[in-house]
Structures are given as C-alpha cells and as structure tokens.
C-alpha cells in the first residue's frame, strides 16, 4: 500500500511536472507570438480568424519563434529559447557617402551654371547696345556663341563649284522598301537594311580633315545626299559605310541648293543601295522618327548612331539661313554629325533630312539662356525631292532673288502706324543686290515694275520668273518719301552664309 501510495505520489509529481513544462512551453510560444503577431498579420494581409481551421504558414521573419496560432488549439512544442534577431549592419558610412556625392554634384552644377550665367549676362549687356536684339547662336556653336558687338568673320558666301557633270538620263530617285516582319518594333530590321545606304561624309580642305557629317544614297549609280553646310567646309570628300569591310570612297561634288541646305555627291561604286523615299506631307504627328548619323560624342566619332523618337510637328515654320522654312519637328536626339542623315519612318522610308537642333529656347529678363530639350528639325523630303533630281540631272540650282529679309505689313498695321501696305525690309542676305542698289533696312516696298503691291502683289512672281542678270524696278516708302530703285537680280544661292 505504501509502495502503491509512493507510486501514486511519484506519478502525481510527474503529472505536475509535465503540466508545468507544457504550461511553460505554451507561455513561451504565446510570448513569442505576442511580440510578432502584428508583423505576421501584416505579412499575410489579414488577421487569422480564431474560429477557422489554422494553416501553418512559412513565417517571413525567421527569428526562431513559433508562428501565431489561434486560441483553442494545442500549441506545438516550443523551444526553450527564442533566437534574437540578427542585428543590422551599420549604414552610417553609406549615408555619409551619399551626402558627400550630393554635395559634390551640387558644387559642380553651381560652377557650370555660373559659367553659363556669366556668358549669358554678357550677351544681355551687349543686347542693350543693340536695341535689345540678340544674335541667336548657331545651332551647333553652343560653347562660344557669337554675341552682339563681336566681329563675325563668316560674312562671305562660300560657293562650291560643281565637280561632276549632270546626268539627264536619270529620271527618278529612291529605292525599295525594306522587308519588315516585326511591326511592334521595326527599327532593328530597318537599320539592318541600310548597311549599304547610309554612311559618313568626311570633308577635307587642302588635304587637312575639316569635319564629318552624314549622307544617304538616293540612286543606285552612287548619288548621295547630305546637307550643304556639311559640304561647304571642304574641297574634297570621302564616304564611308559602317561595315566591317568598309573603305573610304572618294566623292565628287555634283551640285547643291544652299538656300535649301542640300548637297549631292557622286561615288563611283556599284554596290550602294538607295533608300526608299516617303512623303513628309503624309506624315502624321506621333509617327516614329528614326535618325541615323555619324554622331560626335565621348571625344570621338560614333558612326551610324541610331536614335529613335517621334514626329512632334509637321510643317513647323522656323527662321533658318535668314529665310523662313518649314521643317519636320522631332524629339529624336540630334547631335553634331547627324547633319545630312536620313530621318526614317516606321516603314523605313526617308521622310526628312536631319539638319539642325535648337539648344536655346529663349532668354530670361537677365539674359540667361533657357535650354531646350528634344527640339530637332529635319528638312521635309517633299520640299527637296524635285531639287535633288534637278541637281543630279543638271547641277546646282539657281534661285533668282534680290537678297532681302522682310515682313509683310498688314492693312491693320498700316492704318495703326500710318504707313503704307507692302513689304517691310528688316535685313539683307550677304552680297544682296537690293542693298547694293541702295535699299535700306526699314524701307517698305510698295510697288514692283509700277504695280501697286496693295492691289496686286507680284513681286515674288516677277523675281521667280526672272534670271540672274535681269532687272526689276521697285518703289519703296522711306520716312514718308517714295524712292525708286533699280535692282539687278542675282542668284540667291550665292548669298547664303553658313557660320
């Protein structure tokens, strides 16, 4: 009996010990759960419902504690310790480094901004001596623009004499469309098809390298189009395709149209492939605009660099080479060296000739330059297709003109300011026949060959139907007095100055 009682006592002690251990284990688990319950609920996205069957989840916080379990369920055996979280590594040095980098960048930006501000303020001060007028820098000459008051040595037109006879047997230009299968992204296939169609035009003067631009093939006999402002920098030229076995191909100057800024070269090889010519008139805003050119950057020439954007505007009027022209405006990246390269659409057709970009949008009240972004311009292909063919057939284009820059005086302006209706002369082209004949800035042209322009504006028609050497009689209004001037018509393409 005593042994039985002893055994009962022993069993009772064991049951008490077991209950104590189970209670300790449950409390340990409950404590761990209480500490991390909120994190666990946040991770799963909802609080566990104590009345629903419990599912074991893999806890993202691997701290060694038992995952939360709802009341009423017997806890799993708990460890006799809860592993402490691994301490995070110190990130103080990273914060310090980031602050140092930010400060260094801020200082660099401040120095650059100060340099541009000083230059812009000089332009502003000079502008006050020129009746508030700014001399807008050349699109590429952004490092050291010509400012008012300084001498511009580029005042004489440079005319390139034709070096290759015309070929009247050629009656069409342009090639075939490339084969495209991926219409979601046609750019790679388009570029692959241009291997023998786009290259770099290198210019030399007296044997010395002068610069580089881009040119594209328009006829299988080796006729290549580029910008005239590329050609004007040299007297000899070479053409290089962007391919492994490419060689420098000698070029000869066929002719140009400076007022339209186009030039045509001839390469005596038989493996060049012309690009298909599209229509700028049919181009829609938002279409792909792919530029390929010999871009300059990273202290090096980067041949056949491809940049892709979209057409921003069709027929954008802009003052270029002292005349108002219409361009395709694009947000495609344009860089020095792109000049003369093709602007392609999503079908691989040439819709324009990449020509210039705007780096400065305007100036603030202190004369500081306000930079522009994504403002590139391409000559509309429909505006020069006929001229390119004419150059191939018969050489450089002759454009009769009298060399004036003018604004039309409207009837409303005339009444308000008590001046006659006509054309207000604001500036002259280089070697202007009108200026040579005695016309002055501020004159208002009111008659042409005795006809009142208010009744019949025939001035443009008379000049375009004339030839260089013909004479035109005009009457101008100057400070209340009419003055008759006899002008010998010249070739406007010999009045264009490229800075």
Q: Out of 36, 219, 229, 280, which one is annotated catalytic?
A: 229
Alpha carbon 142 to its chain centroid, in Å, reads 15
User: How long, in residues, is the chain?
Assistant: 499
- Catalytic site residue 219? no
**40 token code pair:** 């666990």
Q: Out of 339, 383, 396, 432, which one is annotated catalytic?
A: 339
Whose structure tokens read 């049951």? 15
Q: Out of 242, 261, 443, 491, which one is annotated catalytic?
A: 261
- Catalytic site residue 339? yes
* Alpha carbon distance 198, 41 (integer Å): 63
185: helix, strand or coil = coil
Helix (H) or strand (E) holding 228: helix 228-231
Whose structure tokens read 């093939």? 217
Residue 61, Cβ neighbours under 10 Å: how many? 12
Closest C-alpha among 221, 214, 177 to residue 393: 221
- C-alpha count within 13 angstroms, C-beta hemisphere, residue 172: 7
The set of residues, in sequence order, having a beta carbon less than 8 Å from that of 482 and lying 6+ positions away, is 446, 475, 476
Strand-pairing partners, residue 311, are 330
- Catalytic site residue 229? yes
C-alpha torsion sign, points 340, 344, 348, 349: negative
* Alpha carbon distance 447, 32 (integer Å): 100
116: helix, strand or coil = helix
| Active-site annotation, residues | 229, 261, 339
């Amino acid at each position: 009996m005593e042994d039985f009682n002893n055994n009962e006592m022993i069993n009772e002690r064991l049951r008490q010990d077991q209950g104590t251990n189970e209670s300790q284990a449950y409390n340990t688990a409950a404590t761990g759960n209480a500490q991390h319950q909120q994190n666990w609920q946040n991770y799963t996205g909802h609080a566990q419902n104590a009345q629903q069957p419990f599912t074991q989840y893999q806890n993202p916080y691997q701290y060694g504690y038992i995952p939360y379990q709802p009341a009423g369920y017997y806890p799993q055996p708990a460890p006799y310790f809860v592993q402490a979280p691994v301490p995070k590594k110190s990130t103080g040095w990273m914060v310090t480094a980031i602050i140092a980098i930010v400060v260094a960048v801020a200082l660099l930006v401040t120095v650059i901004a100060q340099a541009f501000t000083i230059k812009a303020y000089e332009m502003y001060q000079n502008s006050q001596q020129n009746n508030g007028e700014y001399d807008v820098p050349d699109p590429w000459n952004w490092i050291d623009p010509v400012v008012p008051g300084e001498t511009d040595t580029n005042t004489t037109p440079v005319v390139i004499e034709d070096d290759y006879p015309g070929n009247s047997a050629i009656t069409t230009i342009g090639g075939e469309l490339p084969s495209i299968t991926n219409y979601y992204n046609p750019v790679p296939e388009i570029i692959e098809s241009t291997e023998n169609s786009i290259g770099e035009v290198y210019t030399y003067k007296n044997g010395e390298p002068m610069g580089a631009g881009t040119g594209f093939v328009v006829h299988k006999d080796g006729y290549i189009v580029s910008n005239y402002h590329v050609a004007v920098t040299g007297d000899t030229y070479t053409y290089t395709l962007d391919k492994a076995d490419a060689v420098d191909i000698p070029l000869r100057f066929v002719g140009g149209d400076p007022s339209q800024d186009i030039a045509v070269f001839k390469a005596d090889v038989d493996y060049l492939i012309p690009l298909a010519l599209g229509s700028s008139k049919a181009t829609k805003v938002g279409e792909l605009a792919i530029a390929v050119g010999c871009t300059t950057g990273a202290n090096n020439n980067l041949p056949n660099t491809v940049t892709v954007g979209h057409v921003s505007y069709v027929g954008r009027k802009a003052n270029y080479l002292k005349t108002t022209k219409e361009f395709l405006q694009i947000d495609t990246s344009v860089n020095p060296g792109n000049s003369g390269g093709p602007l392609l659409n999503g079908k691989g057709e040439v819709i324009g000739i990449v020509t210039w970009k705007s780096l400065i949008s305007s100036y603030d009240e202190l004369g500081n330059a306000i930079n522009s972004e994504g403002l590139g311009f391409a000559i509309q292909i429909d505006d020069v297709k006929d001229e390119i063919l004419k150059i191939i057939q018969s050489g450089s284009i002759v454009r009769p003109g009298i060399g004036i820059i003018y604004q039309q005086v409207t009837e409303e302006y005339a009444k308000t300011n008590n001046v006659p209706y006509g054309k207000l002369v604001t500036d002259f082209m280089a070697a202007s026949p009108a200026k040579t004949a005695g016309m002055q800035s501020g004159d208002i042209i009111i008659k042409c060959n005795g006809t009142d322009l208010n009744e019949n504006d025939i001035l443009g028609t008379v000049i375009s139907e004339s030839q260089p050497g013909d004479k035109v009689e005009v009457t101008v209004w100057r400070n209340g007095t009419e003055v008759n001037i006899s002008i010998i018509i010249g070739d406007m393409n010999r009045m264009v100055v490229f800075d």
